[in-house]
Amino acid sequence: MKTRLISPGLQVLMLALLLNFPALPGAWLGFAGIAMADDDDDRGGDDDDDDDNRRSSPRSSGGGDDDDDDSPRRASPRRQPAPVIVRLPTRVPDEIVALDLSAPDLALLIEDGFALLEEQALGQESILRRLRIPKDLALPEARAVVRALESAPDADFNHYYRAEEEPALVAEPAREAPLCEGPHCPALTQIDWPVAPSLQTQCAGIPVTIGMIDTGVNPDHAAFDGVKLEVIGGAHADFDASREVHGTAVAAVLAGRPDSRSPGLVPWMPLLAVDVFHLDGGDERADVMALVKGLKTLADRGVAVINLSLAGPPNAVLEETLQRLSKEMGIVLVAAAGNAGPRARPRYPAGYDTVIAVTAVDRSGRIYRRAVGGPHIDLAAPGVDIWTAASVSGARGKTGTSFAAPYVTAAVALILQANPALTPDEVMALLASSAKDIGDEGYDPVFGHGMLQATNLCR
């Protein structure tokens, strides 16, 4: 019987494999875990929007951390700690708002332990009231109690609303339009927006007043020198004032001085900006009471169109207020679709029928990756890397549906300057018929009626 000899080299190789084999499965599993953790395409820095801190991340795992293993057997990248998930509140925890609550019903609520915190007249006969609920009632139960009254079927929570934008991305200068120079030009070219001042001379009629509900606006920014801008601020005396970041950027898209670093779309139009936001810790938000008061201020001042670059949950009081502004007063309402993602439920006020819901696209006409979609979407407009004013001075790129909405708002203002008698429904019909179809043929829930086009808006 012959004995098969194993070469010394092969013996060494087999011994090495046997000694290290127990470590192999762990090593391979660790490699796969790293690959999956990087699957959220987080290369190249943080380009996420405000909603990311309310979402879980694919980096979170249920396993333990092997970083305390100092063994030199294998080297692997250190795992990043799982992100802290911060869930921002959606409403004031102990308040209800009610529209047109009768005096007898209010007396009954006060007798049952409710407290009247604030009331705001919205017209000759309409009053909005903010109530604190009794300590022994849960918030949903308190709302049910108020809604059971004959005069308050639309009572609701005092919901919070937040601005819809991504952190700023620095846009590179571009010169895509021969008559336009600067990084703001690609967006203008995309919607065929004539360059000021030629646009002003093309549009006959008396300029209309544009209203906007937003955070604070810095009126001393160089972009607003000589512009007809008025800022009304201070929604809450009990909280810190809002930052002048988001509102300044949105206002500059609308009305930035033509020869500034951030030229606006309709800089000759009067702009009335109402700051309804406040800061609570690091959370910048507006509640329904402040939002409705801001809307009333704009309506009382005779604005023709209102820009709402904000989003939040549905609210019956807000819906009723917007219905009155649109149907009874003829004010055109434009709102950002929201940045909660394409699978998210509709965000409000964009989700209401009386509001023009605007989604955002990039320079190639592709939908913004975090834009909310659905059958309520009306129009698409540029909203990625929009060159506009920074809060203190200068300009930078901004991304989000917040910055797509003012393009439609400016288009509405042009239409109403030339045709002030048009109703909100007629304005929407004109915008829809002139839009450029960029999605599925005809209307679709991603782009709505298509990309806003400024051609012939003045006619």
Report the relative pairing of strands 283-287 and 271-275 from DSSP bridges.
unpaired
| Cβ-based burial of 442 (10 A; exposed 0-12, middle 13-18, buried ≥19) | exposed
CA nearest 431: which of 396, 380, 387? 380
CB distance 252 to 271 below 8 Å: no
Residue with tokens 């990248």: 77
Q: What per-residue confidence (pLDDT) applies to 36?
A: 25
Q: What per-residue confidence (pLDDT) applies to 166?
A: 63
What residue ranges do the domains of the chain occupy?
91-154, 163-434
Q: What per-residue confidence (pLDDT) applies to 88?
A: 86
- Cα–Cα distance for residue pair 194/291, rounded to 1 Å: 33
Catalytic residue among 246, 278, 376, 449: 246
Amino acid at 370: R
CA nearest 406: which of 426, 386, 434? 386
Nearest 5°: the CA angle 267, 273, 276 is 155
CB distance 251 to 285 below 8 Å: no
Q: What per-residue confidence (pLDDT) applies to 17?
A: 42
Mean pLDDT of successive 10-residue stretches along the chain, which has 459 residues: 45 45 36 26 31 34 33 42 67 94 95 94 87 94 95 94 64 43 84 66 82 96 96 79 94 94 94 95 92 96 98 97 97 98 96 98 96 98 94 91 98 94 96 94 96 81
- The 10 Å Cβ neighbour count of residue 249 is 35
Q: Which fold has domain 163-434?
A: Rossmann fold (3.40.50)
CATH number of this structure's domain 91-154, picked from the four choices 3.30.420, 1.10.10, 3.40.50, 3.30.70: 3.30.70
Q: What per-residue confidence (pLDDT) applies to 197?
A: 53
Catalytic residue among 214, 275, 378, 385: 214
Sign of CA dihedral 373, 375, 376, 382: positive
Q: What per-residue confidence (pLDDT) applies to 38?
A: 26
User: Catalytic: 221?
Assistant: no
- Cα–Cα distance for residue pair 262/424, rounded to 1 Å: 29
User: Catalytic: 100?
Assistant: no
Catalytic residue among 154, 402, 434, 449: 402
